Amino acid sequence: MKYQTQKLAYPYFIAAMGLFVAQVLGGAIAGTIYVFPNFLSEIMPFNIIRMIHTNALIVWLLMGFFGAAYYLIPEEAETEIYSPKLAWIQFWLFLFGAAAAVVGYLFGIHEGREFLEQPLWIKVAIVVVALMFLFNITMTLLKGKKTVVAIILTMGLWGLALFFLFAFYNPSNLALDKMYWWYVVHLWVEGVWELILASILAFMLIKMTGVDREVIEKWLYVIVGLALFSGLLGTGHHYYWIGTPGYWQWLGSIFSTLEVFPFLAMVIFSFYIVRKGNRNHPNKAAILWILGCTVLSFFGAGVWGFMHTLAPINYYTHGTQITASHGHLAFFGAYVMINLAIITYAMPHLRGQQPYNQTLNMWSFWIMCSGMCFMTFTLTAAGVLQTHLERVMGLDFMEVQEQIALFYWMRLGSGVVVILGVLLFVYATFSKGKEKQAS
């Protein structure tokens, strides 16, 4: 760690890990309600649990992104963070907002659009937090070196904040509401977040492989270019059946199919650079997370996304367990794993230790990834059956759900495995590193 203020990443990463644990526990409760429908139904209905599960996910991913930015911007810009004090205020305000939101949900205080359930004042607080952060990062960048990695990351973070502003627009016309809702949800995960993902990836590859920065930065431009050229009009894959014009069935199908390519490019990029690199970096676990991230995001977003993105197929699969299977592997592969990668990379520096529990960390990688993959497979099977029975044969929703109950048991089982992986990751990251560095 070359700069003092990189330490600011530490509290963000700790909070991210805490919320991660809460998120998967929430998922497990939701999964339990699926198999024991009367579980908690009087005190804590499914919708509240689900809200906590998805919101905790978004918040901890953002915590991780903030931490990642505080860690890598000083090193890229070769200067200290503009205002460490502001970063601390931002941290506590964000953590407080997240905690207040969850407590509020438990008491039924929430709004009612998926993922955007935060009460108005919390949405405002999120914007304030984002502005503090962007001000801090941008000022740092302005006084320092403007590398491509730093610029793409900062662009992604600005885009994240700008598109969030559409969360404040809730027209009474449901079709309009839905159309702009995707400005937040789709343009985040299949737009500006990909800039954040790719730039964090590029940063770690530069640091760990010793490959020439010029090569990596050129790749970075190509990847984020592919992402935005396809992802902007790719939004059309959500505009098939919500009251928007029919031409989106063509545009959405074509451009969202192209969205597979940035994810494919990231796989090729990461493997090519790691192979080309000759520096024998001791943090093997971080490399594992990097490669795992590009592979599973290719499968989760690319392959599982493509599976149901063509309009004639989506007509039948829209809003079934197929969507849930894709949502899980895509979020996990891309954004969970990039966070775990940067945490695995940065923690030894932040804690002033040799690469800590590498073996346990790598075990957590394999446990978590197998759990998530199995969960995806079971949900896919459930989704295929559901699509056929409900959308093709015309059986009643509830009747179909009974027929596919077995898969919900398997989802719960794999979810428990994921949780074990998560707990092991946290333990491996924060335990005292007894292991000696290999090299």
Partner 1 sequence: MSEGMTKTAARNIFFGGTIFFFVIFVVLTAQSHFYILEESTDVSTLTASVERGKRVWEENACINCHTLFGEGAYFAPELGKVWVKFGGADDPETGRETLKAWMNAMPTGIEGRRQMPQFNLTDQEHEDLAAFFEWISRVDTQNWPPKPAE
List of residues 6+ apart from 255 with CB closer than 8 A: 230, 231, 232, 233, 234, 236, 237
- DSSP characters over 239-288: SSSSS--TTHHHHHHHHHHHTHHHHHHHHHHHHHHHHH-----S-HHHHH
> Going residue by residue from 15 to 34, which x/- string records binding to ligand HEM, judged by CB under 6 A?
---------x--xx-xx--x
Which of ligand HEC, ligand HEM, Fe ion, none is residue 27 near (CB under 5 to 8 Å by kind)? Answer: ligand HEM
Residue with the shortest CB distance to Fe ion = 186
Stretch that binds partner 1, among 93-101, 293-301, 310-318, 415-423 (CB under 8 A): 310-318
d(CA 54, CA 49): 9
Handedness of CA 300, 302, 303, 304 (dihedral sign): positive
Binding segment toward partner 1, per CB under 8 A, in 67-75, 199-207, 213-221, 289-297: 213-221
Helix (H) or strand (E) holding 229: helix 213-234
47 binds ligand HEC (CB under 6 A): yes
Question: Is residue 46 at the binding interface for ligand HEC, with CB under 6 A as the rule?
Answer: yes
Least Å distance between CB 132 and ligand HEM? 26
CB-side neighbour CA atoms (13 Å) of 75: 19
Give, as one character, the DSSP assignment of residue 4.
G
Answer yes or no whether residue 43 interacts with ligand HEC by CB under 6 A: no
- The continuous run of DSSP H or E covering 418 comes out as helix 405-430
CB-side exposure of 83: number of CA atoms within 13 Å? Answer: 14
Q: Does 354 bind ligand HEC (CB under 6 A)?
A: no
Q: Does 318 bind partner 1 (CB under 8 A)?
A: yes
Cα 199 from Cα 66, distance rounded (Å): 13
Least distance between ligand HEC and beta carbon 262 (Å): 36
Give the contacts of 319 (CB within 8 A, at least 6 positions apart).
Answer: none
The answer to whether 176 contacts partner 1 (rule: CB under 8 A) is yes
Measure the N-to-C terminal CA separation of the chain; round to a whole number of Å: 19
Which of ligand HEC, ligand HEM, Fe ion, none interacts with 30 (beta carbon under 5 to 8 A by kind)? ligand HEM
Instruction: Evaluate whether 435 touches 358 at the Cβ level (below 8 Å).
Output: yes
How many residues belong to the site for ligand HEM (CB under 6 A)? 43
Nearer of residues 317 and 361 to partner 1, judged by Cβ: 317
Question: What 3 state SS string does 5-28 have?
Answer: HHHHHHHHHHHHHHHHHHHHHHHH
Using CB under 8 A, which of 3, 34, 135, 158 touches partner 1? 34
d(CA 233, CA 43): 43
Q: Residues 48, 103: contact at Cβ < 8 Å?
A: no
- Give the type of residue at 271: F
Q: Which stretch binds ligand HEM (CB under 6 A): 10-18, 46-54, 126-134, 242-250?
A: 46-54
Binding region for ligand HEM (CB under 6 A) out of 124-132, 213-221, 271-279, 301-309:
301-309
Partner interacting with residue 107 (select from partner 1, ligand HEC, Fe ion, none; CB below 5-8 Å by kind): none
Q: Output the smallest distance, CB 184 to partner 1, in A.
A: 13
- Positions touching ligand HEC (CB under 6 A) are 45-47, 398
- Positions touching ligand HEM (CB under 6 A) are 24, 27-28, 30-31, 34, 50, 53-54, 57, 114, 189-190, 237-238, 256, 259-260, 297, 301-302, 305-306, 308-309, 314, 318-319, 323-324, 326-328, 330-332, 334, 336, 411-412, 415, 418-419
- Positions touching partner 1 (CB under 8 A) are 33-34, 37-38, 41-42, 45-48, 50-51, 110-114, 117, 148, 172-179, 214, 217-219, 221-222, 224-225, 228-229, 232-233, 235, 238-246, 248-249, 251, 268, 315-316, 318-321, 323-324, 391-394, 397-398, 401
